Amino acid sequence: MMQRIINTMFHGTVKAKLFLWSIFIMILATIGLTVFAAALGSYVFGAGAAACGVAAFITSQSASLEQLNRKKPASVPKAGREKRDKASHTGTDKEEAETGGMVNSADRKEKAQAKAAYIASMNEKKLKQAMKEHKVRQKHVFLLIDSYPEEQLEYTPAVMWRTDTQLHILALEGSALEFAIPLHEVTGILFQPNQPADPERDYPTFRYSSFVTKLYTPYLPTYHELAREGELRYTKNLFQIRPGISVTNTSVRNVMEVLPNIPFLVDDKVNNSTYFDEYFKEIYRYSLLCKNTVITLEEYHRSTEKVLQGMLQLPPKAFVRSLQEMKKYHLVTSEYVTKYSQLYRQKRELK
């Protein structure tokens, strides 16, 4: 909370900064006047200190950071509003026609309450019983599903295992929900960087201590602070198991234990570039896994060395260019450049 207040003082909206700085100045004035009152024995300074203290308290209770940091929605031209309202109405009608009007906020709230009650009541014995009933294999892993629209899952603790032909997931919703995906449909795991996040609202069941929340806390996502347009925002990096299960970055290592040969997919400018070669891109992908705690730094170094060993077969110009680009973008250190440049020269001399 203190870090958030400090960030808002320097990067928040104008209203938020005025609000926090005025309180800060009044607190300083209260402290200063109190010191003078004690040193000089002056009732005037004492009264001033009390007045500043009361003013600071009243001001601090008059608004919240969320209210002050909230941006006004951008105005929409009348024609645009009419078009948007028409589209919204059409979409609502379509949804009601398809679902019979059953999916609404009341249903979502009821589902969330049922989920919270179920997770709060879960203990080690009940979890083992649920896993036994669903024939969870001995080799299984825990993970947090951030979202899976097909099964209407959001912020859900789960257990994953596999058989010869299917990937199984046991989700802890309002009850233990099992679903299976044919392995041939699991085509990869896609990196989803900078997804919008709110640490205070995401994963609401984790606000309360329980057996399940303690078990799954290590798999909560890593949040990143981002100051943009004078406003502090949060993002998280997710990984989507194709065909559509988005899991937290801290869950991916477990996923790869169950699916060790799953392709890691990255759709960004670097990976889609024709400028960088495949050796550069491979180490770049390893760096993303390392930054997101999917692999350790030691594993990253081992994987990097394996790629660099493969580069020794490149022509001289391609080898030097690729190695220099890796150093330029901080994928390898100067020590690696020196080591593999020497190995490359030695290999060329032996030919």
Q: What is the dihedral of CA 196, 200, 203, 206, to 10 degrees?
A: 160
Q: What is the pTM of this model?
A: 0.69
Q: How far is CA 120 from the centre of its chain?
A: 24
Lowest mean pLDDT among 21-25, 58-62, 139-143, 191-195: 58-62
Q: What is the mean pLDDT of residues 107-123?
A: 88
Tokens encoding 298: 């030691």
Query: For 32-62, how does the pLDDT look when each residue is reduced to its tens digit (9 = 90+)?
Result: 888 888 888 777 777 777 777 767 677 666 6
pLDDT score at 174? 86
The pLDDT score that the predictor gives to residue 46 is 76
Q: What is the pLDDT of residue 61?
A: 66
Q: Give per-residue burial for 212-239: e unless 16+ CB within 10 Å, then b.
A: bbeebeebbbeeeeeeeeebbbbbbbbb
Is the predicted pLDDT of residue 78 greater than 60, yes or no?
no
Domain boundaries, the chain: 2-69, 108-265, 278-350
Q: Which residues pair with 245 in a beta bridge?
A: 241
Which single residue is written with the structure tokens 């179920």? 118
Does residue 70 register a pLDDT over 50? no
Give the pLDDT score at 344.
94
Examine the pLDDT at 92 and tell me if it is beyond 60.
no
Window from 115-124, 222-231, 279-288 with minimum mean pLDDT: 222-231
Q: What is the mean pLDDT of the chain?
A: 84
Position with higher pLDDT, 124 vs 347: 124
pLDDT exceeds cutoff 60 at 73: no
User: Rounded to an integer, what distance in angstroms lies between the CA atom of residue 143 and that of residue 158?
Assistant: 5
At 49 the pLDDT is 72
Give the span between the Cα atoms of 165 and 241, in whole angstroms.
16
Query: Measuring CA to CA, which residue among 251, 253, 257 is closest to residue 236?
Result: 251
Q: What is the pLDDT of residue 340?
A: 96
Is 90 exceeded by the pLDDT of residue 24? no
User: Who contacts 319 (Cβ-Cβ below 8 Å, separation ≥6)?
Assistant: 311, 312, 344
* Cα 320 to Cα 314: distance, rounded to the nearest angstrom: 9
Look at residue 79 and tell me whether its pLDDT is greater than 50: no
